[in-house]
């Protein structure tokens, strides 16, 4: 990437002898840091206001018409002046600068517009030099950001976490997309990121599954399609189990009725009948089977482990389509009995937990009514979902010594995670609790595909891919030029699903709308992909080499459309910084759509092919920079930018 020396060289050309460099800023990585430092320096000198107050008062603007940076003057904390007058006064005393135009006073705001020529010379070469790293800042994840040799902070992102033999539902889809995004964001900020999948793979239902496999399972099907097959088996056996439960209930009622009528013989016969079901039925066999698993019996565990391993293998392939690779396939089954026992001991010792009718619970109402009472051990001594999460958190802390751990889980589980964190704290482990964060999200409404309600991630992706293929066929002339339409449709389909998911704030619900998400119009995945592909096509047609672009005369980019594009490109490092703060994919997407819109309205004004050679080269450099920034943003989101479509 660009070095401070490069920046110094550029600034010298515009008459600035030193690189403005406030403490803890990164002028070589972020052009806005140069401007903030520069404006602060000049304004502090001219007004006598402390630089430490001015710097943080500099804000982004909503739109380019309001400047590149602004100061709401009340933030300068100078008393006894009307904001509008004060803004005007500051505008007056701000000295001439090679980097910014004389500021404009607008109501209570002081607006700063960057001069085009130095901005362009700073930004475009930085992008073309930094390429895929432009906008990211690996220092942020350092324990001491000002000391490059300090060690990187460690983050666990736990996300997706589906349940074996159960459908992959909307909650898992969103967790996968948002979790993948968050992992990328923190990596871009220099953290050491561990991607973890915490499978739902433990509990009596896995005894049910094993019993079901005995009855309905097929080796061949299992190997071919483990996720789908196990689900089918589970549905079949669950149905039998439910029928048995109904039967027992009916027989019991009949027996009671018989007894009341004085028909003891009949009652006895009925009793025998339902006891037999209770003793040999699916439920009891499953309970026994799971008991063997819980006791660590090798044969029982062996079968279950095969289910788990085959499912994981299949998941891996699907996640790869979303550009996700896990470092750790953990799961509820992996939580050690010792960890849960150790936690139980501490909870008992510290009187965090109490016995209640043979079970153990934690009364969290003393911290907050909303937290309620949480069961941590069942009467029969077995663990629960919550118990396993408590054990898992401490195990992970022991193993990884994480600085932060993010759980990406639907907002339906807000209470569960709040209980988990509060219990950790009550156990005297605020050190762990404070490092944990629940990233939640709203629901997906109506997630059904044309083949019915979607059950597996693969089905969803295949269906959207097919729909996308259909949309592409709608434009026959274009369609014929696409090299591998099936693969392209697949990639576009995945983008469609992901962008629809990440467009709004995480907490909002949204409706799964196949027609809307696959459209080329509106702010959709295909639209974003189109913007990228078009830039690729421009650069192919222009045919300049990277060396050509590096020597382009950027002063030729003088049209308002070109300047505005440069101004937008310049903000990407700040948009990324803000994304680290908001942890919202929409922060990136909103920016990318703005860019895409600005690009599409600039093509008519800034033609590359057919313009005079030097002009053409400068514009090609601008578009190459835009493509790079678009690519960088799409990659953070987890998308695979296409070059042709």
User: Looking at 77-85, 158-166, 470-478, 591-599, which segment touches ligand ARG (CB under 6 A)?
Assistant: 158-166
Identify the residue among 389, 463, 490, 584 touching ligand ARG (CB under 6 A): 389
Answer whether 523's CB lies under 8 Å from 590's CB: no
Give the nearest residue (CB) to ligand ARG: 200
Shortest distance, position 201 Cβ to ligand ARG, whole Å: 9
CA 568 to CA 566: how far, in whole Å?
5
Answer whether 75's CB lies under 8 Å from 58's CB: no
Total number of residues binding ligand ARG (CB under 6 A)? 8
By CB under 6 A, tell whether 161 contacts ligand ARG: yes
Tell me which of 172, 314, 422, 455 is the catalytic residue.
Answer: 172
Neighbours of 464 (CB within 10 A): 26
Considering beta carbons, is residue 163 or 491 the nearer one to ligand ARG?
Answer: 163
User: In 30-180, where do the E strands start and end?
Assistant: 69-72, 104-106, 109-112, 154-158
Shortest distance, position 388 Cβ to ligand ARG, whole Å: 8
Kindly tell me the sign of the dihedral angle through the C-alpha atoms of 351, 357, 360, 362: negative
Shortest distance, position 389 Cβ to ligand ARG, whole Å: 5
How many helices and strands (H and E) does the chain possess? 26, 15
Considering beta carbons, is residue 41 or 458 the nearer one to ligand ARG?
Answer: 458
Identify the residue among 28, 182, 406, 409 touching ligand ARG (CB under 6 A): 409
Burial profile 203-226: b = 16 or more Cβ within 10 angstroms, e = fewer: bbbbbbbbbbbeebbeeeebeebb
- 158 strand-pairing partners: 196, 407
Shortest distance, position 141 Cβ to ligand ARG, whole Å: 23
The region that residue 46 occupies, defined by phi over 0 for left and psi between -120 and 50 for alpha, beta otherwise, is alpha
CA 632 to CA 233: how far, in whole Å?
43
By CB under 6 A, tell whether 168 contacts ligand ARG: no
Identify the residue among 198, 319, 441, 544 touching ligand ARG (CB under 6 A): 198
Tell me which of 66, 81, 106, 166 is the catalytic residue.
Answer: 166
Please give the span between the terminal C-alpha atoms of the chain, in angstroms, as a whole number: 30
172 carries an active-site annotation: yes
Considering beta carbons, is residue 87 or 409 the nearer one to ligand ARG?
Answer: 409
503 carries an active-site annotation: no
Query: What CA–CA distances, in Å, run from 31 to 503, 591, 642?
Result: 27, 17, 28
User: Looking at 33-41, 74-82, 155-163, 472-480, which segment touches ligand ARG (CB under 6 A)?
Assistant: 155-163
Identify the residue among 27, 167, 200, 585 touching ligand ARG (CB under 6 A): 200
Considering beta carbons, is residue 36 or 388 the nearer one to ligand ARG?
Answer: 388
Shortest distance, position 165 Cβ to ligand ARG, whole Å: 12
487 carries an active-site annotation: no
Answer whether 562's CB lies under 8 Å from 619's CB: yes
By CB under 6 A, tell whether 163 contacts ligand ARG: yes
* SS3 state at 604: coil
Shortest distance, position 313 Cβ to ligand ARG, whole Å: 19
CA 15 to CA 115: how far, in whole Å?
13
By CB under 6 A, tell whether 407 contacts ligand ARG: yes
* SS3 state at 362: strand
Considering beta carbons, is residue 40 or 175 the nearer one to ligand ARG?
Answer: 175
CA 598 to CA 535: how far, in whole Å?
13
Q: What is the greatest pairwise CA distance in the chain?
A: 109
Shortest distance, position 518 Cβ to ligand ARG, whole Å: 27
Considering beta carbons, is residue 386 or 598 the nearer one to ligand ARG?
Answer: 386
By CB under 6 A, tell whether 212 contacts ligand ARG: no
Considering beta carbons, is residue 408 or 557 the nearer one to ligand ARG?
Answer: 408
Closest CA to 350 of 419, 421, 428: 428
User: Looking at 157-165, 212-220, 433-441, 484-492, which segment touches ligand ARG (CB under 6 A)?
Assistant: 157-165
Query: What CA–CA distances, in Å, run from 153 to 156, 185, 398?
Result: 10, 14, 15
By CB under 6 A, tell whether 290 contacts ligand ARG: no
User: Looking at 45-53, 83-91, 156-164, 246-254, which segment touches ligand ARG (CB under 6 A)?
Assistant: 156-164
Tell me which of 38, 169, 422, 532 is the catalytic residue.
Answer: 169
Helix axes 83-93, 31-47, angle to 10 degrees: 100
The DSSP line for 382-412 is ---HHHHHHHHHHHHHHHH--SEEEEE--GG
Considering beta carbons, is residue 327 or 564 the nearer one to ligand ARG?
Answer: 327
Considering beta carbons, is residue 440 or 491 the nearer one to ligand ARG?
Answer: 440
* SS3 state at 639: coil
Considering beta carbons, is residue 53 or 415 the nearer one to ligand ARG?
Answer: 415
The DSSP line for 439-469 is E----EE--EETTEE--SHHHHHHHHHHHHH
- As annotated, the active-site residues are 166, 169, 172
Residues that bind ligand ARG (CB under 6 A): 158, 161, 163, 198, 200, 389, 407, 409
């Amino acid at each position: 990437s660009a070095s401070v020396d490069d920046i110094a060289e550029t600034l010298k050309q515009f008459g600035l002898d030193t690189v403005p460099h406030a403490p803890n800023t990164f002028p070589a990585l972020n052009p806005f840091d140069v401007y903030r430092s520069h404006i602060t320096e000049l304004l502090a000198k001219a007004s006598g206001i402390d630089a430490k107050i001015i710097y943080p008062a500099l804000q982004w603007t909503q739109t380019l018409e309001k400047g590149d940076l602004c100061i709401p003057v009340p933030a300068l904390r100078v008393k006894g002046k009307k904001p509008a007058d004060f803004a005007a006064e500051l505008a007056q005393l701000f000295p001439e600068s090679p980097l910014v135009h004389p500021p404009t006073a607008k109501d209570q705001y002081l607006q700063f517009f960057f001069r085009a020529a130095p901005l362009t010379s700073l930004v475009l070469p930085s992008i073309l030099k930094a390429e895929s790293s432009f906008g990211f800042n690996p220092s942020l994840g350092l324990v001491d950001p000002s000391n490059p040799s300090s060690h990187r902070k460690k983050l666990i992102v736990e996300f997706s976490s589906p349940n074996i033999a159960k459908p992959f539902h909307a909650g898992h889809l969103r967790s996968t997309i948002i979790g993948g995004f968050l992992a990328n964001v923190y990596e871009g900020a220099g953290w050491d990121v561990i991607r973890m999948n915490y499978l739902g793979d433990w509990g009596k239902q896995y005894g049910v599954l094993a019993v079901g496999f005995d009855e309905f399972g097929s080796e061949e099907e299992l190997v071919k399609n483990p996720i789908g097959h196990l689900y089918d088996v589970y549905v079949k056996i669950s149905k039998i189990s439910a029928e048995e439960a109904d039967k027992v209930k009916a027989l019991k009622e009949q027996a009671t009725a018989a007894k009341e009528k004085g028909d003891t013989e009949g009652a006895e016969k009925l009793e025998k009948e339902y006891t037999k079901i209770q003793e040999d039925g699916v439920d009891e066999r499953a309970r026994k089977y799971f008991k063997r698993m819980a006791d660590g019996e090798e044969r029982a565990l062996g079968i279950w482990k095969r289910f788990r391993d085959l499912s994981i293998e299949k998941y891996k392939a699907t996640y790869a389509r979303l550009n996700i690779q896990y470092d750790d396939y953990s799961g509820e089954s992996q939580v050690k009995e010792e960890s849960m026992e150790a936690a139980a001991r501490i909870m008992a010792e510290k009187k965090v937990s109490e016995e209640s009718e043979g079970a153990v619970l934690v009364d969290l109402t003393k911290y907050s009514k909303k937290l309620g009472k949480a069961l941590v051990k069942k009467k029969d001594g077995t663990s629960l979902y919550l118990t396993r999460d408590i054990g898992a958190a401490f195990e992970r802390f022991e193993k990884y010594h994480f600085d932060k751990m993010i759980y990406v889980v639907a907002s339906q589980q807000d209470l569960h995670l709040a209980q988990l964190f509060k219990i950790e704290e009550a156990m005297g482990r605020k050190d762990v609790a404070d490092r944990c964060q629940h990233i939640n999200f709203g629901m997906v409404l109506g997630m059904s595909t044309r083949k019915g309600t979607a059950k597996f991630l693969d089905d969803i992706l295949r269906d959207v891919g097919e729909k996308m293929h259909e949309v592409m066929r709608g434009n026959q002339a274009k369609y014929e030029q696409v090299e591998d339409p099936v693969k392209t449709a697949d990639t576009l389909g995945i983008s469609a699903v992901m962008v629809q998911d990440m467009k709004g704030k995480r907490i909002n619900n949204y409706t799964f709308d196949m027609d809307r998400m696959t459209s080329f119009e509106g702010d959709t995945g295909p639209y974003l992909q189109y913007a990228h592909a078009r830039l690729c096509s421009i650069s192919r047609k222009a045919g300049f080499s990277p060396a050509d672009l590096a020597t382009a005369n950027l002063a030729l980019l003088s049209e308002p459309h070109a300047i505005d594009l440069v101004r937008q490109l310049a903000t990407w490092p700040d948009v990324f910084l803000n994304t680290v703060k908001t942890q919202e994919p929409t922060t990136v997407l909103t920016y990318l759509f703005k860019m895409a819109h600005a690009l599409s309205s600039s093509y008519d004004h800034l033609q590359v092919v057919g313009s005079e050679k030097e002009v053409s080269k400068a514009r090609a450099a601008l578009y190459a920079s835009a493509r790079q920034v678009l690519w960088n943003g799409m990659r953070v989101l987890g998308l695979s930018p296409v070059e042709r479509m």
